[in-house]
Amino acid sequence: MAEKSQFKWAAVISYMLLLVFYLPEMILTYIMLGDCIKEDVINTLNPGPSKVACQILMALHLVAIFPIMINAPNQYFESTLRISAGLLLALENIYLALPIYPFHS
């Protein structure tokens, strides 16, 4: 971040955007389903547009959260190992492409 004094406002705006995105989903799910939710909300929905919309929103959430999750470790390793971001990204892609199954018997 170029101006560190603006971090507080960036965090507040980010949480407000999360509230805008998630609150309607929670309210509509509760209105539609109420107490009949079993284990998984998505599987409780009947097949149709609402289920597809929820699945798309969940997929977008997973895609959007990935860069946020890997940003802090990437910055740490870049500064500790003194390597460029491109090299670190290449190493991560190689690691993710390897067929490693640690719990495979």
pTM score of the predicted model: 0.44
State the pLDDT at residue 104.
45
Tens digit of each residue's pLDDT (9 = 90 or more) over 21-43: 999 988 987 888 777 777 777 88
Indicate whether 102 pLDDT > 70. Answer: no
Confidence of residue 75 (pLDDT cuts 50, 70, 90): confident
* pLDDT for position 24: 93
Encode the chain in three state secondary structure: CCCHHHHHHHHHHHHHHHHHHHHHHHHHHHHHHHHHCCCCHHHHCCCCHHHHHHHHHHHHHHHHHHHHHHHHHHHHHHHHHCCCHHHHHHHHHHHHHCCCCCCCC
Give domain limits for the chain. 7-38, 45-100
How long is the chain? 105
